[in-house]
Every structure is written in C-alpha cells, then in structure tokens.
Amino acid sequence: MSADEISDDVRITEIQSLQSIFEGATLDEESLTGLISIEIKENWTVTDGTSSHEVTYFPPIQMSFTLPDGYPDSKPPEIHLSCPIFTESQLEQFHHTLVSIWQDYRDQIMYSCVDYLQHQVQYKLGEVLDRPLKLTSDEFYQVVAFNDAAERKRFESSVFECGICQDNRIGLKCTKFDCSHVFCNHCLNEYFTSTIEAGEVEKVRCPDMDCTKKWTDLTTKERNFDELLNSNLDIHAFVNDIIKPAIPLTMLSSILNSPNVVHRYQSLRRKHLYEMISRLLPNALIECPRVGCEEQILRQDRNDLLVQCPKCNYAFCFNCRKSWHAKYVTCKPVEGGKYGVPISDIETYLISEKDSHERKVFHSRYGHTVMRRAVKEYEMDQLFTKLIENSPDCSQCPSCEIVIQKSDGCNLMTCAHCDTKFCFLCGFITGASHDHFADPTSTCYRKLFHGMPGVADLDDTLDIH
C-alpha cells in the first residue's frame, strides 16, 4: 500500500505515521513490524575495570516491535529493547513502562513509547547509569568503537577553517591532530612533502604555532641534555618523547598518498633518531642476555656495570653479559663486534672523550675509518632495536622491514609500503584472514584487539570468529 492510500487497519496507519516522523526507522506495513533507534549523546566515562575512556556518543537503544492482531484495543505491541550500556533489569523496567502506557490508553502508543525513551536518555540518564559506567570488556569495546566512528562521521561532515590557507573545508578533506588543530589535506600534503624533500623531517608535525613552540622547547632540552642528566630527569620518558613520531604513519600516509615520500620520511627520520640518540645516550641501551627474554634495557646509570632486567629480573654484568659477579671480579668482555671491533671496545670508545687517550689507542689498533663505521653501525642497531622493541606503537613489516606505527585499530596490520598483511604482535604474515587470532595454538589467540588505544587491556574473551 502506498503512503497516499488510507487503510482501514489502524496498525497500518500508525506505521505510515511513524514513517513520516522517524526518517531513519525501518518500518514495514506488510509485516506490521518496525525498528526505531533512540540516539544517546552524553559526555560520560566508561570503564571495563582496567581501562577507561571518555565518550560522547553511545550505541542507541534499539526498539523493535510488532503490532499483533487485536492491537491497540485488546493486545499491547510486542516490543523488544536492546542497548549495551543498560542492564537486562534496566531494559525490563523500560519495557514494563511501555506496556503500562498501552494499559493506560489502549490506543496507538508507539510514538509515545519513543517519546518516553527519548526523555529518559535526555533527562534521566544520570539517574539510571553510574559514573563512571562499568561495562564488560565486550560492551566496553563496542561502546568505544561506536563513539570513535560517530566522532569521525561528525568530523567528516563538519566544516573547518584551515589553519594554513584560511579557507573553509569539509572535514572529509581535513585532518585533525591529537592537539585538536585542523588543517586541510591539500595544505598538509604540500607542507609535509616540501619539508621531507628538504630533509627537515623534524618539522613533520602539527604546523600550528603553539605546537611549533612546544617542539622548539623540546629540542632546547635535547641540546642541554648533559645538564638534564644531573637533574631528576626520567630518561625513559625522555626517550619515549624523542622516538615517538609526532604524526602516526597511517595518518601521514593518508595525507601524502605517496609511498615514495613516506619511505623517504621513514629513512630520514630513522637517520635523525640515530644521530640524536648517539649524541644524547651513547652506550645506554643493552639487550638482556637471558635466553628467551631479549628485553631492551635502558641503563639509568651508565657508569654502573650492574644491570638488572626489568622484565625477567636477571642481574648481569654489563661488561661480560654474565650473571652479576661483584665489582672487584675481573671479567672477560663479551665476544662479537662490528668490522672486527669487539662490542666492548666500541662501548668503551663511545664513553671516552673525543680527544682522549682511549680513542687514540682504538684508532691506532683498528684504523680511524673502521672504528667510525663500527661505532655508527652499533649505534644504528641499538637504536633500531630500541625503537621497535621498546615502543608499543611500532613494529617492523616482516616483508620489506619498514617500520610501521599503529595509531589505532586491531592487530591485523597492512603495510602501507608493500601491502603485506601481518600480525602486529608477533610479525606473522596472516594474509587477509583472522585465523591467526582464532587459533588456540597461536600466542596471539584472541588478541585481535589487544593493545588498542583506549582499550589497552581489552579482555581476551572477545569473539573474533
């Protein structure tokens, strides 16, 4: 029956009336059924007991219904409510109230049902839900994912003034940084491409003046690092500030849309980090020698030979890499090295003064060029390992070995450079399938969403089949 035809069945006329009021509703005149979503928008904190997240958009209350024979005179509508933020008891209470509305009027009451639910979520939500709202891990992930998608949709449909060209642009053609500054992708593409081509990778960050000043302050700290070492500096936090990219690689790739430019950025930034860490923290990184651990350890006191792994608690000598034997015991430096130079000599060279007697001895023993190459490769290896192993947001593509940063999403990664699909946690090449995360024998079993921003401790009971 068309919307212009008038039916003698009051149920059909009510369905038609609902169609004209609720544009997004799913309504069917033949089956006399419908599904209406009641939107919930409120600033709230949600938690699963271990992680918390601020949300604004909640999954809506889904009200599905059927208008049976006898409705509305003798039978109430058959209504079912669902929403992950309400308990079964709360949904049952809502349902009981909706039935009571019919009992009071015994008339067409579906609009009144929607109006009641809308009133509850707009004005009574604080009386129904706790602050913060405690959810199961499944519910927590569902709410966070829905909020993120709604925020993206809202951003993409809004209009912003680009901070560079000053033109108004739709959000779909803009990028919003974590600092909340917004620029159009066209301006960002030109700006980042020019800075990368000029080799100024440290400028690949939010171009806003306030953010630029913060970056300038950080580089000033780097130049005065020797003074900071004598203060109460948290070296781990400082290193994380240095190695963490100002812009996630996924964001930069979408802005530039050029694998070659992105690859150049990766290479130049890696070189920049090598030079910075070698200048600031020579001889500060060491790998735990215990078999199966391989933790990268950042030494707070580089003058102390005693090193204790924070992961496995193994205490060992920095010089010989064996179990700690007290300072007065003479030990043999660990074997191995670069270009024939033992690692212990490289590390001693790094902690020696530029014109010191120790460095002159090494130059005489191995040659100036060989020593320089050995030191450079050692520093690159140490920093690269540190960058990969000690940064929770970075991994290395198992195919092309390019470094990839994960800013959000699940652990099934796609390399922006070679399109290889792999597990972010262990590096296993998975293809497009999720089977790796569904295999009980896999170390990554049920960890498809493990480590996501805002859901870092998501329970492993998520169903990924």
Cβ–Cβ contacts within 10 Å for residue 463, how many? 8
Q: What is the pLDDT of residues 119-170, one digit of tens each?
A: 999 999 999 999 999 999 999 999 999 999 999 999 999 999 999 999 999 9
343-351 helix and 368-389 helix, angle to the nearest 10 degrees:
90
- What is the pLDDT averaged over residues 28-45? 96
How far is the C-alpha of 314 from the C-alpha of 297, rounded, in Å?
A: 11
Cβ–Cβ contacts within 10 Å for residue 21, how many? 11
* Amino acid code (one letter) for 241: D
Q: 24-33, 123-132, 253-262, 381-390: which has the minimum mean pLDDT?
A: 381-390
DSSP state of 202: G
**Residue 255: which of 173, 152, 169 has the closest Cα?**
173
Give me the residue spans of the domains in the chain: 10-149, 160-280, 296-381, 394-464
Higher pLDDT, 333 or 384: 384
Confidence of residue 240 (pLDDT cuts 50, 70, 90): low
Q: What is the pLDDT of residues 379-432, one digit of tens each?
A: 877 776 666 666 677 777 777 667 777 777 788 888 877 788 888 888 888 888
pLDDT value at 459 more than 50:
no
DSSP 403-439: EEE--SS-SEEE-TTT--EEETTT--B-TT--HHHH-
**Residue 307: which of 318, 296, 298 has the closest Cα?**
318
Calculate the average pLDDT of the chain.
83
**Residue 267: which of 380, 160, 364 has the closest Cα?**
380
Q: CA–CA distance from 297 to each of 133, 243, 285, 307 (Å)?
A: 38, 15, 6, 8
* pTM more than 0.95: no
User: What CATH number does domain 10-149 carry, 3.40.50.880, 3.40.50.20, 3.10.110.10, 3.30.200.20?
Assistant: 3.10.110.10
Q: What is the pLDDT of residues 291-328, one digit of tens each?
A: 777 676 767 665 677 889 988 999 998 767 788 987 77
110-123 helix and 88-105 helix, angle to the nearest 10 degrees:
140
**Residue 176: which of 190, 160, 187, 164 has the closest Cα?**
160
- What is the pLDDT averaged over residues 87-106? 96
Q: CA–CA distance from 386 to each of 236, 294, 404 (Å)?
A: 11, 11, 14
Grouping H, G, I as helix, E, B as strand and the rest as coil, residue 177 is coil
How far is the C-alpha of 369 from the C-alpha of 360, rounded, in Å?
A: 13
How far is the C-alpha of 373 from the C-alpha of 9, rounded, in Å?
A: 88
* Amino acid code (one letter) for 151: E
Grouping H, G, I as helix, E, B as strand and the rest as coil, residue 156 is helix
Q: What is the pLDDT of residues 174-209, one digit of tens each?
A: 999 989 999 999 999 999 999 999 999 989 999 999
